[in-house]
Amino acid sequence: MSTLTAERPTAELATRPKSPKRRRLRGESKLHPMVWVFVIAVMGFSLIPFYWLVNTSLKKGASLSQGELFPSQPTLENYLVVFQNPEFLLALRNSVIIAVVTTTVALVFASFAAYALARLKMRRKAMILTLILSVTTFPAIAIAAPMFSIWREIGLYDTLLGLIIPKLTFALPLAIYTLTSFFKEIPRELEESAYMDGATPFVAFRKVILPLAVPGLATTAILVFISVWNEFLLAVTLTTSPEARPVPVAIAFFSGTSEFEQPLGTISAASVIITIPLVILVLLCQKRIVSGMTAGAVKG
Amino acid sequence: MDLNRPALPLQNRAARNRKALAATAIATALLLSACGGGAAPQGAEQAAAADPASGANASGAVNICGVKDASGIYKGTAEAFTKANGKVTAKYTEIGATTDEARTQIVQRLEGKSTECDLFVTDVIWTSEFASQGWLLDQTKLVEANKDRLIPSTVETTKYQDKYWGSPFFTNAGLIYYQKDKVAKPESWQQLYAEAAKAPGNGYVYQGKQYEGLTVNFLEMLYSAGGEVLNEQGDVTVDSKETRDVLNFMSDGLKNGSADRAVLTYNEDPARLAYESGDFGYQRNWPHVYRLLNATPLASSFGVAPLPAWEGGKASGVLGGWNLAISAHSTNQAGAVAFIDFATTPDWQKHVAMDYSQAPVNEAAYSDPAVLQKMPFATELLASVKGAKPRPISPVYPQISQAIYKNVYAVLSGTASTEEAVQKMAEEITTAKASF
Amino acid sequence: MAIKTLLPGRSPSSATARPVSGRDRAERKLAFRMTAPSLVIMALVAAVPIGYAIWLSLNQYSVRTAGLSRFVGLENYINALASHEWWAAFGQTFLFAGISVSLELILGTAMALLLNLAFKGRAVLRTVVLLPYAIITVVSAITWQTMFQPNMGLVTNVLSTLGLPGGDVVWLGEHGYAMAVIVMADVWKTTPFAALIILAGLQVISAETYEAAELDGASKWQTFVNITLPLLRPAIVLAAIFRTMDALRVFDLPFVLTRGANGTESMSMLAYTQLRENRLVGEGSALSILTFLTVMVVSVIYVRFAGGNIRDVAKEEQ
């Protein structure tokens, strides 16, 4: 397919002289100083609250109330406590399973649906889009209670599958919308040429659209993964045992020595720890997000 | 806050009668009256009663459900009971990370007539709500049998319509922590506020965020000033001189520096952390703070006192703590009774204090030498517990509490005058009662 | 839902009378098969609870007697719409959503442009910028709460050390300031979401487009305004739809930070209070559905008037 990508006709720019260069190769040295200022501002805004979280995770006992900008007696004890908590490790496993399975299934289902919506002849697209949106817009608090009863009846309560199914449901709309929008961007001419080679629409989807939509797929994967990972209300409503609890619920179950004591240190440490899988995911995906898919054209 | 809910002449219409699962007497009664369209509301009046003698012959498994076990007391008690009993095995299931969540989870189970839990650990403010729905077993006989070993004020928290719907497990009452090197032991609220205003480092911190804790802080003062929210008959009596006095007093305290404005953002933990910074003279909080303060540089300089009296009045307070309620759908009621019997024995109540730093519901435990060693402030705590009263008893307590804390907050933050707030509070509580 | 009528209807140009060819039929069949898995799973999981919630909202339930109810039709809705609380929450929620989504889109676009530049260390920047999005909402709320805690928070400490205004303000205890903290916390956490979507949108703009503009002698700013921004529109609209939907349903942040005090009570909080705390199931469900309808109307307006690819798809009616 790569040959097809390189040779595809450009839509409205066909008359422009083509450049052999890709945009991302444009000079690394040409960054304006103001851009650097902005880079630093963005990093600061992102990192300062994160720093405060790390800072809190390194404090314990009385030093939590001192508000020091740099912990005077930093300790890794909170991290040890978290890692020695078998329920947290179990929750980490649960979350990884739930998020990976949900994201994978959501991407497969959503890319099918998105392709149909973006490309194929179909009746009532407006209605389908509205219905999809309404599923994700419906307030979770209003459906948590009935879902609890139904899940108990059919034996899905307090199981990983019982969490994957509703999370998939609420992740699908985001995935379908995002992918539909990205698929729309891909020039139709590419499929047309595939059709001329005798491809069926499904083959065109698999061989033309999917490879070109990799940045969109990677972006969608990250967005879906994180939204599934962070979801709390359904997770807390539909689980009761550590065997099924995902991380956000497990963290809520961290406790001090009394019902009134919020274990700030361990909560912060656990939150820092669970960013690591996300960081790995981003590092894995980031090449794909900015993969410079486009030597060619753009929909007008 | 209420959305003009009209008074309810409710007709028995649709009642979900999907599956009459466990055919306990109560469930059948509920269904019959719901389907039959009879006028009698099915609720507390027809609840089945727990038999105090049944505990002795109990066997099988008992599942106790409740909020996350921060101090370890629930799991610890279940283990100790299992070991001591020999025939019944008890286990504790954490079904909510916060008090609110636990309530939601319990309600969901009770509404679904679930037999999963035999016993619920219930916040003292849930009793009337749960009892009024016919969700709980009437424990009147059990409580009467155990009455001589329970502190009367704690038993009152389980009372609704002249019956008892739970047994107190452990209790809680507010205490004043104070810096002995800076301020005097509080004798009255007026003296405490005056002392707190004297120097910047003397300030008073309490729980002033817009939430349940503010209701508690306000009621503690209101009760000691002789005021009340509902009278014995359940009429709304909050529109009173006492309410106005207390509101003015609290709001003046914020203006003249007795209390830092930051209390408007504090619940229990931020209040404690603020006090631990050493910048304040007084703190109102629960007994758990004692142990935490001992691990800070303030360990040698703080004192503990019961809540003070209103000038010219009597010291009072508000009870916290947790009760044990038997589910009407429990399949092992005898086992549940056996567990309650064990948990409320004077001997185990000592462990409640010694091992888990919770306030016992048995008076003798407070003077036990071993307890006093772990809880040197036990005498002050007992005084607070004995003088404390329950929060307003009503199945719509959550709405009543919202009416209280939202309007108190409005006065404290300066968005409403005392007069407006008192009237609105009374109005909203009246509306809330009508929705019941 | 009657929302369908709000979406652009079939465009007059689409020739519906055209006889359906064999290829068309095959294509429709394929389209049906490809959307079916998603639609089926959504219908299976969501339909019953949503239908049930709608039914609840048409009834009034007794707090006292479990299961006792009476059918009240739209009364719960009428009462809610007649209440001061609903409109206060409505206004506050829109204020929050308006400010935070605007900031998120502006910052998100800027961030995306930055992430798209080629410079050393952009991998680091990309990871750093995404970190806030990976923090659980409740934890991020707690973090912002402690940062603004008087006397011992990061922000209050730094401000008062530097002698800047705001150091002695009880941020979460004052009107305006409390909203500002909630907005900042939301912008911090969710700008990466907008940035990611917009970044992906940037990827489909070709290098030639820019080079053509350069050849035409356009300045960087002109290129951005005249070329980049219009081409980014689908991505920005997409980010706007999802961010607005979430922002209009904001719950965790005000719930943890203020419990709705100081002009921060949101529509979702109101629904939560009635549904969960007060167990007025009928009233609470009606509030949830009003929230839902509000969000749907706003989303549909977005789709229709802001344009983007979703509108184009919705317009295709064959």
pTM of the model: 0.87
- Where does residue B160 fall: left (phi above 0), alpha (psi -120 to 50 degrees), or beta otherwise? beta
In which band, very low, low, confident or very high, does the pLDDT at C318 lie, cut at 50, 70 and 90?
low
Predicted local confidence at residue B40, as pLDDT: 36
- Residues A176 and A124 reside in one and the same domain: yes
* Euclidean distance between CA atoms B188 and B308, whole angstroms: 5
Predicted local confidence at residue A139, as pLDDT: 86
Which domains are assigned to chain C?
Answer: 2-43 (no CATH), 88-317 (1.10.3720.10)
Predicted local confidence at residue A110, as pLDDT: 96
Within a domain: residue A9? no
* Euclidean distance between CA atoms C144 and C188, whole angstroms: 10
Q: What is the mean pLDDT of residues B23-51?
A: 46
- Res B33 pLDDT > 50: no
- Residues A50 and A183 reside in one and the same domain: no
Predicted local confidence at residue A126, as pLDDT: 87
Indicate the residue of B15, B210, B279 with minimum beta-carbon distance to C151.
B279
**Nearest CA distance, C175 vs chain A (angstrom):** 23
Within a domain: residue A104? yes
* Euclidean distance between CA atoms C80 and B220, whole angstroms: 34
pLDDT in tens, A186-223: 888 888 888 888 888 888 888 888 888 888 898 899 89
Sort strands B302-306 and B204-205 into parallel, antiparallel or unpaired.
unpaired
pLDDT in tens, C166-218: 888 899 999 999 999 999 999 999 999 999 999 988 887 777 777 787 788 88
Which residue did the predictor score with more confidence, B87 or A24?
B87
- Where does residue B162 fall: left (phi above 0), alpha (psi -120 to 50 degrees), or beta otherwise? left
Q: What is the mean pLDDT of residues A137-154?
A: 86
C145 contacts on B by Cβ (under 8 Å): 265, 270
- Res B38 pLDDT > 70: no
- Res C251 pLDDT > 90: yes
- Residues A92 and A202 reside in one and the same domain: yes
**Nearest CA distance, B169 vs chain A (angstrom):** 15
Within a domain: residue A39? yes
At B77, which helix (H) or strand (E)?
helix B73-85
Flag if B132 and C64 touch (Cβ within 8 Å): yes
Q: What share of chain A is helix, strand, coil (3-state, %, to 5)?
A: 70, 0, 30
Kindly provide the residue ranges of all beta strands, DSSP E only, lying in B191-340, ordered along the sequence: 204-205, 282-285, 302-306, 317-326
* Euclidean distance between CA atoms A300 and A238, whole angstroms: 46
C131 contacts on A by Cβ (under 8 Å): 46-47, 50, 275, 279
Torsional sign, CA A27, A28, A33, A34: positive
Which domains are assigned to chain B?
Answer: 43-171+320-389 (3.40.190.10), 173-318+393-433 (3.40.190.10)
What is the total count of domains within chain A?
2
Q: ipTM of this complex > 0.90? A: no
Q: What is the mean pLDDT of residues A77-103?
A: 94
Token reading at A111: 């890319």
Indicate the residue of A142, A271, A282 with minimum beta-carbon distance to C136.
A271
Helices (H) then strands (E): counts for chain B = 17, 12
Q: Domain of A57?
A: 31-75
Return the residue in A143, A255, A259 with the most chain B beta carbons within 10 A, the one to mutate for interface testing. A259
pLDDT in tens, B160-181: 999 999 999 999 999 999 999 9
H helix runs in A26-76, sequence order: 33-57
CATH number of the domain where residue A217 is located: 1.10.3720.10
Token reading at C36: 């079916």
Interface of B with C in 248-307 (CB under 8 A): 260-262, 264-265, 270, 273-274, 277, 279
Counting beta carbons within 10 angstroms of the beta carbon of residue B379, is it exposed (0 to 12), middle (13 to 18) or buried (19 or more)?
middle
C171 contacts on B by Cβ (under 8 Å): 265
Cα-based angle B364, B189, B249 (whole degrees, multiple of 5): 140
In the listed set A75, A100, A131, which residue is the last one of a domain according to the structure? A75
Indicate the residue of A64, A237, A252 with minimum beta-carbon distance to B273.
A64
pLDDT in tens, A214-269: 888 988 998 999 999 989 989 988 998 899 999 999 998 998 878 888 888 999 99
Predicted local confidence at residue C66, as pLDDT: 60
pLDDT in tens, B192-238: 999 999 998 999 999 999 999 999 999 999 999 999 999 988 899 99
Residue B108 touches chain C, beta carbons under 8 Å: no
- Residues A108 and A134 reside in one and the same domain: yes
- Average pLDDT taken over every residue of chain A: 82
In which band, very low, low, confident or very high, does the pLDDT at C317 lie, cut at 50, 70 and 90?
low
Predicted local confidence at residue A297, as pLDDT: 34
